[in-house]
Amino acid sequence: MTTLLERTSPEEIVAQLEPTLRQYAPAAELERRLAPQVMAAMVEAGVFRSLTPRAYGGMEMDPLSALRMFEAIARIDSAAGWIAGNSSGIATLGFLLPPEATDEIYRDPRTVWAGALFPPGTAVPAPGGYRVSGRWPFGSACSYATWLVGQALLIEDGAPRPGPDGNPVAMMVVVRADEAQVVDGTWQTLGMRGTGSLDYAVNDVFVPDRRTWQIGPAMPANPAFAGPLYRLGMWLAPPQIAGVTLAIAQAAVEDFIATSKLELPVSAQAISAWIVWFWTGMEASMMLGIGEKEGHQREALDAMATLLRRLEGRARPEAKSGEGGPKPAARRRRK
């Protein structure tokens, strides 16, 4: 099957999207969700198939290339970058489902995943599957999704069924978006308004066994997801979130400095970067041994980028060898 990656590159995708992203970014902030034109452009460009297996016509992109593409989009439009990375990452959960489920999901070449896992809903056993009810917040792009993911507790005799460890048995469930209700008015924030991270809910919806996974050790269940990319498993999520967040912070600092018409003293410029550094760059600076004066400005964000690349670089060979993601490194403490 010809893949999207054979027709275009990540850099070409970003260049193709940039005019549309810039044109509609203000509308996304106003409407509290991405403009339909932006979502359609990202679907058409194949952004949401960047981490989809080649067997389903996706790119199965190298993770570093995908992460950099998400970051590049986020630098242009923070909400679009968040959704690009978030929905693409959620799509990799297909490795936990059997082929009959992913065959169904990817029957539509314009498939878009969205979802959240907390708080858990309920799943009552029924012939061939479960009757699922629940409501989940922070469903970024759920208004545009074709499939929604949620977590549910297995219910028997009106109470959660305990597992072998005594904790309730939890399941991942995948439902058709047209079986869910998006709850308008539930995304009232100051930042990231354009992500449209509304609540979504289902009420007594039947979900077949094939579209559920009992949460536990993440063992691939689908030969279409046999490539090295999917051996990273859940490890893909942290660098995706960190990379997009980092790109947004870097763009914010650069824009602040570039658009200021005043001749700001260095200390004033440092204030904006220091705020970002305080919350996000401190740990990276410490781990990389960067001093406080260096870390107070752009070097702090660069430190985070360096650390992220190191972790991503360590993951790739281990995934190819089948050993999974990187092992935690010892933390370097400040002296």
Write b or e for each residue in 76-92: b if 16 or more Cβ atoms lie within 10 A of its Cβ, otherwise e.
bbbbbbbbbbbbbbbbb
Tokens of 53: 């297996």
**Same-domain check for residues 145 and 100:** no
Q: Between these two residues, 144 and 270, which has the higher pLDDT value?
A: 144
Q: Is residue 294 over pLDDT 50?
A: no
What Cα–Cα distance (Å) separates residue 306 from each residue in 116, 140, 168, 243?
A: 29, 28, 40, 11
Residue among 53, 55, 91 nearest 70 (CA): 91
Same domain, 186 and 158: yes
**pLDDT value of position 320:** 58
Check whether residue 72 and residue 41 sit in a common domain.
Answer: yes
Q: What amino acid is encoded at 253 in this protein?
A: V
Q: What integer pLDDT is reported at residue 189 of this predicted model? A: 85
Q: In total, how many domains does the chain have? A: 3
Q: Is the pTM of this model over 0.85?
A: no
Domain stops at, among 64, 82, 109: 109
Would you state the pLDDT for residue 1? 44
Is 332 part of any domain?
no
Same domain flag for 215 and 118: yes
Confidence bin at 322 (pLDDT 50/70/90): low
Rounded to a whole number of angstroms, the CA Rg of the chain reads 21
Inside any domain, residue 307: yes
Contact 69, 231 (CB under 8 A): no
Q: Does 31 share its domain with 17?
A: yes
Instruction: Note the pLDDT of residue 287.
Output: 44
Q: What is the pLDDT of residues 4-63, one digit of tens each?
A: 445 578 999 999 999 999 999 999 988 999 999 999 999 999 999 999 999 999 999 998
CA of residue 5 relative to chain centroid, distance: 20
Q: Looking at the structure, do residues 259 and 214 belong to the same domain, yes or no? A: no
- Residue 166: helix, strand or coil by DSSP? coil
Q: Is residue 71 part of a domain?
A: yes
CATH number of the domain that 88 lies in?
1.10.540.10
Residues across the chain? 335
> How much is the pLDDT for 319?
55
Work out the average pLDDT over 313-317.
57
Which is more confidently placed, 230 or 319? 230
Residue 334 domain flag: no
Domain ranges, residue 258? 237-320
pLDDT at 304: 55
pLDDT at 220 over 90: no
Q: Which of 81, 109, 137 is the last residue in one of the domains?
A: 109
* Predicted pLDDT of residue 135: 97
Evaluate whether residue 231 is within a structural domain.
Answer: no
- Residue at 66 is within a domain: yes
Kindly state whether residues 76 and 131 are assigned to the same domain. no
Query: 96 and 63 in one domain?
Result: yes
102 and 118 part of one domain: no
Both 126 and 58 in one domain: the answer is no
Domain boundary among 61, 85, 109: 109
Note whether 65 and 162 are same-domain residues: no
- The pLDDT assigned to 209 comes to 97
What percentage of residues in the chain have a pLDDT greater than 70?
Answer: 75
Verify that 102 and 175 share a domain, yes or no. Answer: no
- What pLDDT does 296 receive? 47
CATH number of the structural domain spanning residue 203: 2.40.110.10
311 within some domain = yes
Q: What is the pLDDT of residues 156-197, one digit of tens each?
A: 999 999 999 999 999 999 999 999 999 999 999 887 899 999
Q: Tell me what the pLDDT averaged over the chain comes to.
A: 82
Residue 165 placed within a domain:
yes
Report how far residue 292's alpha carbon sits from residue 334's, in angstroms, rounded to the nearest whole number: 10
Q: For residue 260, what pLDDT is reported?
A: 64
Q: How far is CA 251 from the centre of its chain?
A: 19
How many CB atoms sit inside 10 A of residue 236's CB? 24
Residue 171, SS3?
strand
